[in-house]
Chain A
Amino acid sequence: MTAQLSSGTAACPGCLAAPPEPARPIPEDVQIALSLPGIHCSACIATVERELNAHPGVEDARVNLTLKRALIKAAPEMRAADLIPVLEQAGFEAHELDPGALSATQTDKSGRDLLMRLAVAGFASMNVMLLSVSVWSGATDATRDMFHWISAAIALPAIAFSAQPFFANAWSALRVRRLNMDVPIVLAILLALITSLWETALSGEHAYFDAALTLTFFLLAGRYLDFRTRAAARSAAEELTALEVPRAIRVIDGIEEEIAVAELRVGDLILVRPGGRMPVDGQIVSGRSELDRSLLTGETVPVFAEAGQTVSAGEVNLTGPLTIQATAVGEDTSLHRMADLVAIAESGRSRYTSLADKAAKLYAPGVHILSALSFVGWYLYSGDLRTALNIAAAVLIITCPCALGLAVPAVTTAASGRLFRKGMLIKHATALERLSEADTVVFDKTGTLTSGAPELVNLGDHARAKVEIAQALAEASAHPLSVSLVKAARAAGIKPANVRGITEVPGYGTEGEYRGQRVRLGRAAWVGADQGTETSAWLAVGDDAPEAFRFSDTLRPGAAEAVDALRASGKHVLLISGDSQGAVKSLAEKLGITDWIAEALPQDKAKRIQDLSDQGRNVLMIGDGLNDTAALAAAHVSISPASALDAARVASDIVLLGNDLSPIADACDTAVKATKRIRENFQIATVYNVIAVPLAVIGLATPLIAALAMSTSSITVSLNALRLR
């Protein structure tokens, strides 16, 4: 990549715009959106934009580094498929996104709304604080009254605008006779405003306008951080959905037509090309091929498919084109029915109470009782309603949950940001807390620990002449095993033999003629051999006994490191797969996993995890297939790679965006740290309250003390959270 960068002489009209208007708005009619998980620096931005803009047909391309996306305005006939190779050549991983599924996040009104309110609260609190400082430093009489009135004039409209989210939340809780964090907040704000107005009208000494505004400001800051973390996760989750551009080829009277999967009806004839995924459940009408069912069942050996056989949505067609007739579409497909299992398992997880909820449960009633008690106590003691109300308001303001409101969002924002930079996406609000508690890790095999790409393992077992023939036959096919065989043979410096008349027989293999003998490379049954348990392609030369080229799945990058690091941190690691004994055993031995289960059905996986949970273990499940979804949902916390099926990603709390598995161990570490910071933050907030509340209750609190306690606790809490970055 660096080589690309140093040659940065070409003009880059689109990448840097510093025209009169500082930021060029994103082109309105975006036609192509690409996800670029690998970009991370200014050089990447420049290279991507230069490459894209140089491509004929591209009108304008702009990279968004925060979202790791490129938005491209292009001529109508341009397709994302034309641009992806351009970027891949430049060294960037790129995936097409469905712009339709993304549009929702771009005009995110509520985030903008919250930011506006935050700005108004910030502006107003700064101005009021300016006036308050003058009062605290000794303004008296008419001057003080005037300052108080000006403060009131700023504070009332500002709070009426900025604090609306709190009013709305508190009201909706009160309407159903419940208490939430917002009720004491609203009470504190309103009581502060009322007593302050009352005091100002009577030329009193203390007014809490600044406190009401800073309270609103800090709480809005917490809300905004929280919102942003969630919005980032949501938009990335949408992005993953958008990654699967759902199209299918429908055949009507021999004419092929590309349409959206949602438009398919039962009875439609659908053409699935080699490499394509079955969009719906159906029955094969014509064609012969092999199917890769690993995403559904975890088995790596491809299954033979011919007319009359039923197929399920999610299976991948490998060799020949297949025409299928749809028997179930959309929600009725087996893929969706399986996803419904998840919804049931998921409901158990929502019972998890986060640290913030626990704190709020203690906090809200406590504050009300304390404030009510001090009101009653002072009223009985002094008999003066005004003093009693003032003290009750002071208690409410001092115990304000500013620090509490920031304690969790500040930490989760810092932690999610850190993990996002490492290529992990936190989807669920309490995922980090749950991840920090995980003590058992369950891996799926196919597609999770392995990349799903076969690797030839026994090249050395064959005579060179045989390998040459096999290579010649394999070169004629796009089957994954053939591609892998050719790669291995080329790497060993072997040249293909001169095999003539090579033809591919979809679903079986390739055959040809070599020195007067018929030669075949393909399925065991086709060449007259017994299919073993391992993935293999068989070579038959004339009447010689067929020879097996055996393949194993390649390990995903970082898999070994991740397993080692997890074990080193004292976690119990298990491997549960739907694949055959032999394949699972060899992988488990390679990675040093002693506890493994093979040939597990989806229900077995979920049950096994349930058993572990019943033993009091907190299970982290990492899986990608449809057979893992129930297990993912049943686990305490779950992770799936971005290559996983939609349903699996939906069921998991964290999504790995890159190909590398090594960030998993790091994520556990970050989660533990984050939870520790959250607890620390609660402690800090409590310490401030323990010091300031007695002062308020005995009537010694002044607006100055309130402001100091509030600001210092909020700032300490935020700084503590930033240590995570």
Chain B
Amino acid sequence: MEVLAYLIPISLFLGGVGLVAFIYTVRSNQYEDPEGDARRILSDEWDDKPKP
């Protein structure tokens, strides 16, 4: 049962990482256009590098 001493903090930490990542995506407007983003991956046009 000693393994719990590692596993519980690890599971909490991983869950926390997920939560922080989600909060980041909300804050950076990544849910503004869910439908458009779903379609854009089908487009043949892409950039090799960011716009100048």
Contacts and interface: CB of A to CB of B under 8 A. Distances in A.
Given A8-B45, A46-B43, A65-B33, 16 more contacts: A14-B51, A15-B43, A17-B51, A18-B46, A19-B50, A26-B32, A41-B39, A42-B43, A66-B35, A112-B27, A115-B26, A119-B19, A126-B15, A127-B11, A127-B12, A143-B4
Contacts of B47: 13, 16-19
Which 10 residue pairs are nearest across A and B when measured between Cβ atoms? A65-B36, A42-B39, A12-B45, A19-B50, A123-B19, A42-B42, A64-B33, A66-B35, A16-B46, A23-B30
A543 interface: no
B8 interface: yes
Contacts of A8: 44-45
A127 B15 contact: yes
A21 interface: yes
A119 B1 contact: no
A120 B26 CA distance: 13
Nearest to A65: B36
A150 interface: yes
Size bin of chain B's contact surface: 35 or more
Contacts, number: 90
Contacts of A43: 43
A63 interface: yes
A130 B15 CA distance: 11
Interface string B8-28: 100110011011001100111
A56 interface: no
Contacts of A15: 40, 43, 45
Contacts of B16: 123
Contacts of A11: 45
A494 interface: no
Interface in A127-143: 127, 130-131, 143
Given A16-B46, A64-B33, A67-B33, A42 B40 contact: yes
A25 interface: yes
A25 B19 contact: no
A143 B26 contact: no
Interface string A27-42: 0000000000000011
Contact of A120 (B19, B31, B41): B19
A66 B34 contact: yes
Nearest to A154: B12
Contact of A16 (B4, B12, B26, B45): B45
Given A127-B15, A150-B8, A66 B33 contact: yes
Interface of B: 1, 4, 8, 11-12, 15-16, 18-19, 22-23, 26-37, 39-47, 49-51
Contacts of B28: 21, 23, 25
A19 to B, nearest CB: 4
A16 B22 contact: no
A64 B31 CA distance: 11
A116 interface: yes
26 contacts: A13-B47, A13-B51, A14-B51, A15-B43, A16-B43, A18-B47, A19-B50, A23-B37, A25-B28, A25-B29, A41-B39, A42-B39, A45-B36, A45-B40, A46-B45, A64-B33, A64-B36, A65-B39, A66-B32, A66-B34, A66-B35, A112-B26, A115-B26, A115-B31, A119-B19, A127-B15
A65 B8 contact: no
A65 B35 contact: yes
B40 A16 contact: yes
B46 to A, nearest CB: 5
A63 B26 contact: no
Contacts of B50: 17, 19-20
Interface in A50-83: 50, 60, 63-67
A115 B47 CA distance: 31
A20 B19 CA distance: 21
B19 to A, nearest CB: 4
A66 B45 contact: no
A570 interface: no
A460 interface: no
Contacts of A41: 39
A254 interface: no
Contacts of B29: 23, 25-26
A174 B19 CA distance: 33
B40 to A, nearest CB: 6
A493 interface: no
A1 to B, nearest CB: 15
Contacts of A23: 28-30, 32, 37
A532 interface: no
A304 B42 CA distance: 55
A130 B8 CA distance: 10
B44 to A, nearest CB: 6
A22 interface: yes
Nearest to A113: B26
Interface string A97-133: 0000000000000001001100110010011001100
Contacts of A16: 40, 43, 45-47
Nearest to A115: B26
B30 A66 contact: no
A15 B36 CA distance: 11
A154 B13 CA distance: 12
Contact of A116 (B8, B26, B30, B49): B26
Contacts of A127: 11-12, 15
A16 B46 CA distance: 5
- Central interface residue in A21, A23, A46, A112, by most chain B CB within 10 Å: A23
Contacts of A130: 11
A46 B15 CA distance: 37
A143 B39 contact: no
A526 to B, nearest CB: 54
A310 B23 CA distance: 59
A15 B4 CA distance: 49
Contacts of B4: 143
A127 B22 CA distance: 16
Contact of B1 (A14, A17, A143, A150): A143
Contacts of B23: 116, 119
Nearest to A39: B36
A20 B28 CA distance: 13
A45 B11 contact: no
A14 B47 CA distance: 8
A21 B41 CA distance: 15
A31 B35 CA distance: 24
Contacts of B34: 66
